Structure 1
Amino acid sequence: MDQERADENFTATAAVEGGRVVVTVTGEVDMSTADAMLHTATKDASPAAVLDLRAVTFFDSAAIHALLRLVDHYGERLTVLPSPQVRRVLEISGLSTQPWLSD
């Protein structure tokens, strides 16, 4: 896989708002970018997080693994805002009814 090409299709930015970190992710979350998403979401000492995935176009098993690590880290203080592509992957993987997944 072309690492440089994958990075061109991914961003993860964080901003602390109201006592929680809001992480906005765009592009492709895969084995070359999932750790960056995880690191961005956990680098601040915020007690809660919103993971905004509404601009994510690709989400693979490495992304699911990173997401589940965030669930372990934040527990019920995590909210995930999925794109249609992310929602479909979570449906297929059996995670679409989790309380952290926003409608």
Structure 2
Amino acid sequence: MDHQGDVPPFSAVAEVDGDQLSVRVSGEVDMATADGLFAAATREQAAFLTLDLRQVSFFDSAAIHALVRIAERYPGRLSVLPSRQVRRVLEISGLGDQPWLSTP
């Protein structure tokens, strides 16, 4: 896909504060970058994870798979802040009512 620079590159930045891990993700999460999302969210040991996807512009089935795997690693301890695009993809895929998905 040639976006000619109009899409920000994928980025996943993790920060640990005590037992809380926060991962801010931006750009496209797809087959090429979903493993990077998973790695950033699981690299550090933490009791709780906040996954900030508010700056994500594209989210595909590989991204959904990574997110489900992350949710399995953090049962009852995950909070996802979705962008409009991420929320729509999750709703279409049947995951829009997950307890870890923050409401607007």
Q: Which moved more, 1:81-90 or 1:15-24?
A: 15-24
- Tell me what 1:87 maps to: 87
The SS at the match of 2:74 is: helix
> For 1:4-43, what per-residue CA distance to the aligned partner results, in whole angstroms no more than 9, with x for missing partners?
x8xx620000001241100000000000000001000111
Q: If each structure's helix is expressed as a fraction of its own residues, which one has the higher value?
A: 1
Q: Deviation per CA, 1:35-82, whole angstroms, max 9, x where unpaired?
A: 001000111111210000000000000000000000100011000000
Which residue of structure 1 lines up, in the alignment, with residue 73 of structure 2? 73
Gapped runs of 5+ residues in structure 1?
none
Tell me, in whole angstroms, the C-alpha distance in 1 between the residues paired with 2:77 and 2:39. Answer: 17
Secondary structure in 1 aligned to 2:31?
A: coil
* TM norm structure 1: 0.91
In the alignment, the residues of structure 1 paired with residue 56 and residue 40 of structure 2 have an alpha-carbon distance, to the nearest angstrom, of 15
Gaps of at least 5 residues in structure 2 are none
Letter in 1 for 2:16: V
Output the TM-score relative to the length of structure 2: 0.90
1:44 equivalent to 2:44? Answer yes
- Number of residues paired by the alignment? 99
SS at match of 1:75: coil
- SS of equivalent to 1:54: strand
Percentage of matched positions with identical amino acids: 59
Task: Supply the RMSD in Å over aligned alpha carbons.
Answer: 1.4
Off by >6 Å, runs of 4+ in structure 1? none
